[in-house]
Amino acid sequence: MVGTALRLLLALQLVFAASASAQTPLEISFWYGVGGQLEKVIQSQAEKFNRSQPGVKVVPFYAGAYGAGGPMQQKLLASMAAGSVPDVVQMEIHATCTFASKGALLPLDELMAKSPHDRKEDFLPVLTNTACDGKTYGIPFNRSVPILYWNRDRFQKAGVAGPPKTWAEVAAMAPKLTQEGAGGPGAKVFGFMPINQWWFFQAMTWSNGGEMLTPDMKKAAFATEAAAAGLQVWVGLIDRGYAQIRTGPTEFLQTIQDFVNEKTAMYWGSAADMGAVAAAKFDWRAALSPGFEGKPLVVPQGGANAAIMAKISPERQKAAWEFVQWWTSPSEAAYWSRETGYVPVVKKALDDPDFKAFLKANPNHAVPIEELQYSRAAPPSPKYFQVLQLVQRAQQNIVSNKAPALETLKSTAQQVDALLAAP
């Protein structure tokens, strides 16, 4: 009798244990690198995914800004050295090949080929900087292009027909849009505010017929008048008091707020700024990036890939892939775009009825989708983000310290050549 009861008790314990195991989802870590309004959307989307199915629980973690060489990348390198890596990472697109070359990322081609909506042919032209040496290591997670934002009310008040389509037009319009001392001391309204980051330098260099690196990616190619021209426009406007730049780690967010608070009539930012710009109390518009007269517009894409780490268990890789596929499903891609301004990465998102209605009611959000046709990939060099760090220093010297543009770029090109030549 006692033996029968004991066997029954053990059987019940096994049943309860199996039931508990079946109900306990596999937790995977997701490192992301954006703050503010974008962080809120990521957190809510992770919660939504967790509610959508019982088997996987995504635990999002802000690992610092994901930009080239930034805090997230430093944390990721440290985690790799310690042998304890996250499962999924929001990886800045220019760093993808850097980490892939270290064997840190899982190749995704076979998984993509079997996916219902993440096959290569399912994407809009956003697969730039996802592949290295013939293998795909990233799925477009958030994609943006540089966009010009302009205050239509101020343009009309100044009698200026906007938006500008070239940098010559920006230079001509900014003085007319500048308002001295409006509302008291310190309340000057600038005609234009650029954001002095390498992403925008790429766009101006390419749009003026220049290149960042030689085709073989062994030497710098930006030490030219064509590459210097855009920065020289900025410096000229700043020197004459018609433009201003912010500096420091929050320069991007500060510039967005300057536009929202009507401290500048226009600024050149990211498609992903739209969620924050929507707080503006005036009639604002988005427009294609300025280019150069008689030359085709060429812009880089920005943002990050969803990368799955190679040195985690197959079970965790499978769970990570479930999350990535959910994120890029047409309905979720459309939602992410609506909430942030990032472009929807898959073609079927454009067929979503709610998204179609949204674009009709919010035509500003159609601008970055249109601009995708003018975008191109950055050089897939494993050292490219180090190149960009050197370029960033050069920009700061040129724009903030008034260093001669062409001479500074030539000096930086020599540093880049040495970097690329090193083993």
pLDDT at 100 over 90: yes
pLDDT of 16 = 47
CATH H-level superfamily of 20-143+302-369: Periplasmic binding protein-like II (3.40.190.10)
Joined tokens for residue 164 = 């500008």
User: Of the candidates 245, 227, 237, 234, which has an alpha carbon nearest to the alpha carbon of residue 409?
Assistant: 227
In Å, the largest CA–CA distance within the chain is: 98
User: Of the candidates 125, 27, 30, 80, which has an alpha carbon nearest to the alpha carbon of residue 310?
Assistant: 80
Q: How far apart are CA 55 and CA 319, in angstroms?
A: 8
pLDDT of 182 = 54
User: Of the candidates 267, 234, 277, 263, which has an alpha carbon nearest to the alpha carbon of residue 150?
Assistant: 267
pLDDT of 2 = 47
CATH number 1.20.120.1200 is the correct assignment for the domain at 146-300+383-421: no
Separation in Å, CA 276 to CA 43, 251, 312: 17, 14, 36
Of the listed ranges 206-220, 281-295, 373-387, the least confidently predicted one is 373-387
Percent of the chain with pLDDT over 70: 92
Residues in the chain: 423
Residue 250's pLDDT band (boundaries 50, 70, 90)? confident
Same fold, 20-143+302-369 and 146-300+383-421: yes
Give the mean pLDDT of the chain.
91
Residue 22's pLDDT band (boundaries 50, 70, 90)? low
Phi, psi of 178, rounded to the nearest 5 degrees: -75, 135
Q: Are 195 and 254 in contact (CB under 8 A)?
A: no
Q: Domain extents for the chain?
A: 20-143+302-369, 146-300+383-421
Q: Are 265 and 155 in contact (CB under 8 A)?
A: yes
Each residue of 188-228: pLDDT tens digit? 899 999 999 999 999 999 999 999 999 999 999 999 999 99
pLDDT at 286 over 50: yes
pLDDT of 341 = 87
Give the bridge partners for 136, in sequence order: 131
Q: Are 77 and 71 in contact (CB under 8 A)?
A: no
Each residue of 53-90: pLDDT tens digit? 999 999 999 998 887 667 888 999 999 999 999 999 99
Predicted model pTM: 0.86
pLDDT at 343 over 80: yes
Joined tokens for residue 406 = 């062409």
Secondary structure string (H, E, C) spanning the chain: CHHHHHHHHHHHHHHHHHHHHHHCCEEEEEEECCCHHHHHHHHHHHHHHHHHCCCEEEEEEECCCCCCCCHHHHHHHHHHHHCCCCCEEEEEHHHHHHHHCCCCECCCHHHHHHCCCCCHHHECCCCCCCEECCEECCEEEEEECEEEEEEHHHHHHCCCCCCCCEHHHHHHHHHHHCECCCCCCCCCEECEECCCCHHHHHHHHHHCCCCCECCCCCCECCCCHHHHHHHHHHHHHHHCCCECCCCCCCHHHHHHHHHHCCCECEEEEEHHHHHHHCCCCCCEEEECCCECCCCCCCEECEEEEEEEECCCCHHHHHHHHHHHHHHCCHHHHHHHHHHHCCCCCEHHHHHCHHHHHHHHHCHHHHHHHHHHHHEECCCCCCCHHHHHHHHHHHHHHHHCCCCCHHHHHHHHHHHHHHHHHCC
User: Quick one: average pLDDT of 264-270?
Assistant: 97
Each residue of 303-325: pLDDT tens digit? 999 999 999 999 999 999 999 99
